[in-house]
Structure 1
Amino acid sequence: MTRVYIQDVSLRDGMHALRHRLPVEKVAAIAAALDEAGVDAIEVGHGDGIGGSSLTYGVSGSTDRAWIEAAASVVKRARLTTVVMPGIGRIDDINAARDCGITSIRVSVLGSEGDVAIQHLEHARRLGLDTSGFLMMSHAIDPEQLGQNAKIMEAAGAECIFIADSCGRLTPRDVTARVDALRQALRPETQIGIHAHENLSLSVANSLAAVDAGAYRVDAALAGHGAGAGNAPIEPFVAVANLYGYEHGADLFKLQDAADDLVRPLQTVPLQVNRETSTLGYAGVYSSFLRHAEAAASRYGLDTRDVIVALGERGLVGGQEDMIVDVALDLVKVRQPA
């Protein structure tokens, strides 16, 4: 029987949907419900990782410490995890997160920059944390190159490597090719994970394709709560996992209750596949750029889709949010009469 490890990212990737302003008491309530529902891990922190609160990435309504401690105070069985992005989060941030109750961490870098994660991965392993590598923008990296960067992270101490479809751009055949490449590059005991987004309505299908190809850990979120059109929604993923006979510890009805009763009421804008979010997937643009692109388009009288396509053409990646306004201004110049 196929065993899957289900990690909920509602309290980390979901922060993007709320501009990183989820109240501490809501974090505690959602974490408690997820723990009761039997997920394997619960991820908490700023959407851009610990230490991400800034004008560039979004100022938090609380601190990573407060959010993590709130979750740690109610979680009884699940692993409590977070994300760190080198260049944003520091070694000191990893230490602080561990002291607040984190037992697992993911080091997130571009899919072509596995070497950037070495210092953070090695430090996390020395602390005894369950440690994963997280390869973002995986659609933009060919499978073999992705495998080589995964191997670098494995050598630095990563026990699992995640294929992160940051733009919701991958298709099931793309996912299968990348899982196959990682399986060939990595040791048999190193796990593989999938982090899918819903921008092209493929997040659940991509997650299932990854598991069928040999992935073990699956990211998902209550009501799909995440950047862009959201992450893989945990409720339908678990429903299909049940139909497929996958072995896991999650309770479908409890997850449905948590999604409808706790998370959907928080969503000020519906998370859905629409003209803007599907354009993110089509253009291969980082899902967390959506709110920034919408703001720039509104400010300068542009169509958000045009801004998104221009971002894709320039190949902007996470960490370059401050350039979105520059892209919008360039579009304005092009459209001005000579």
Structure 2
Amino acid sequence: MTGPKTGVVIYDATLRDGQHAVRHQLGATALRRYAEAADAARIPVVEVGHGNGLGASSLQVGMAAVSDDEMLATTRAALRHSRLAAFMLPGWGSSTDLRRAVAHGVDIVRIGVHATESSLAERHLGVLRDAGVEAQCVLMMSHLASPEELAEHAGQAAGYGAQAVGIMDSAGHLLPADVTARITAIGAATGGRPVIFHGHNNLGMAVANSLAAAQAGAGIIDACARGFGAGAGNTQLEVVVPVLERCGFDTGIDLYGLLDAADVAERELVPSAPVPTPMSIVSGLAGVFSGFKHRVLELAGPAGVDPRDVFFELGRRQAVAGQEDLIVDVVAQLKESR
């Protein structure tokens, strides 16, 4: 492609969203080795943490192998070029967790909220703004809101101080036209701030959706090495980067270093590369958060309930991340009705 390329920032969520694939059991050595490889590849941003973010290690959603403090300190020490990022869901994490992350030298913190609940981010974005770190906000389960609703809440988040705002396709439910409409609407509502897209691969569309997002004006694209992530995985980092480059977007990432980092991820992090499976396809069709898969399978089998029915019922109820307890109720109801 001729002419100047448009810059896009790649945000590597391997060491955070990827935790879902191993039930949050990445140890300090694995974190360090992958972070070093990502840094060598000049990946701009590396995010680390429990899969559900700061303060989320718990019996309800899974105990992490190491503490937030150790994850942040280990990764910070490994990064010489890449910026360090963390993620927090209000309710799991608190302002105290944010301040501890800042003390560990994070450069960026994202606050994740449900697609139509931007007001929950206001206080935490203020804490980050006062601390002098870059504050971002992502609207999760974005398929549950129209482009107009997302634009409204993205604009509110920007008003609260978010320096970048965007969406997570948390259930891997969107198609490229859906993404284009949402990113375009958000871009028009956020005063020129970078727009974020974070894709999941339940329907095999994560790379195509990420490209559609960039072409619609998204300036930050999330991805994970080997697609390592919840359910069917995330946008595959070592695939989406060369695709974006071929389509005229400059990522600034070294290709050979990127491929080396993917090899490190396969060796150190990923027991098997995530792919769309029958269950993750159902999750995507139902519009249910990919991270519910393990818990659904654990509960449905012993109860003699078809896990596909559980996913479609959770989708009907519009279940969102953090509502894992709802799985118990759904399985019990389906067992009784059977």
Corresponding residue for residue 114 of structure 2: 110
Measured after TM superposition, the shift of residue 224 of structure 1 is: 0.5
C-alpha separation between the residues in 1 aligned to 2:255 and 2:171?
Answer: 27
Amino acid at match of 2:270: Q
Q: Say yes or no: does 1:211 pair with 2:217.
A: no
1:57 aligned residue: 61
Q: Counterpart of 1:261? A: 264
Q: Is the CA contact (8 Å cut-off) linking 1:31 and 1:74 kept in structure 2?
A: yes
- The TM-score, its normalising length taken from structure 1, stands at 0.96
Distance 2:179 2:248 in 1: 21
Any conservation in 2 of the 1:51–1:88 contact (CA below 8 Å)?
Answer: yes
Q: 1:308 aligns with which of 287, 297, 311?
A: 311
Checking the alignment, whether the CA contact within 8 Å between 2:225 and 2:265 is kept in structure 1 is no
User: Partner residue of 1:200?
Assistant: 203
Q: What residue number does 2:8 align with?
A: 4
Does the 8 Å contact 1:225/1:263 carry over to 2?
no
- 1:284 corresponds to which of 261, 284, 287: 287
Contact 1:223 1:264 in 2 (8 A): no
1:225 paired residue number: 228
Taking the TM superposition and a 5 Å limit, the aligned residue runs for 1:242-261 are: 242-261=245-264
1:21 corresponds in structure 2 to 25
- Counterpart secondary structure, 2:135: strand
Aligned twin of 2:239: 236
Q: In the alignment, which residue of structure 2 is the partner of 1:31? A: 35
Q: 1:230 & 1:262 partners in 2: Cα distance?
A: 13
Tell me the number of residue pairs that the alignment of Structure 1 and Structure 2 aligns: 334
Q: Distance in 2 between matches of 1:261 and 1:79?
A: 19
User: TM-score, normalised to structure 2's length?
Assistant: 0.96
Gaps of 5+ in 2: none
For 1:176, give the aligned amino acid.
Answer: T
Q: 8 Å contact 2:227–2:273 — kept in the other structure?
A: no
Sequence identity of aligned pairs in percent? 40
CA RMSD of aligned residues (A): 1.2
Counterparts in 2 of 1:185 and 1:88: CA distance versus 1, 3 Å: same
Name the SS of the counterpart of 1:7 in structure 2. strand
**In the aligned structure 2, how far is the partner of 1:267 from the partner of 1:28?**
15
CA drift at 1:270: 4.1
Q: Distance in 2 between matches of 1:307 and 1:264?
A: 34
Give SS of 2:249's match. Answer: coil
Residues 288, 314 of structure 2: 8 Å contact kept? yes
What amino acid is aligned across from residue 20 of structure 1 in structure 2? H
Kept after mapping to 2: 8 A contact 1:228/1:277: yes
Task: Give how far 1:267 is off.
Answer: 2.8
Amino acid at match of 1:163: I
Equivalent pair of 1:84/1:107 in contact (CA under 8 Å):
yes
In 2: Cα distance, 1:160 partner to 1:166 partner: 18
Counterpart selection for 2:50 from 31, 46, 60: 46
Q: Which consecutive residues of structure 1, in runs of 5 or more, have no partner in the other structure? A: none
- Distance in 1 separating the partners of 2:304 and 2:132: 51
Q: Distance in 2 between matches of 1:161 and 1:149?
A: 10
Higher mean Cα deviation, 42-51 or 286-295? 286-295
Aligned to 2:332: 329
How far did residue 297 of structure 1 move? Answer: 1.7
CA apart distance, 1:211:
0.6
- Please say if residues 34 and 258 of structure 1, whose CA atoms lie closer than 8 Å, have aligned partners that are also in contact: yes
SS of aligned partner of 1:73 = helix
User: Deviation at 1:300?
Assistant: 1.5
Rounded Cα–Cα distance in structure 1 between residues aligned with 2:255 and 2:303: 44
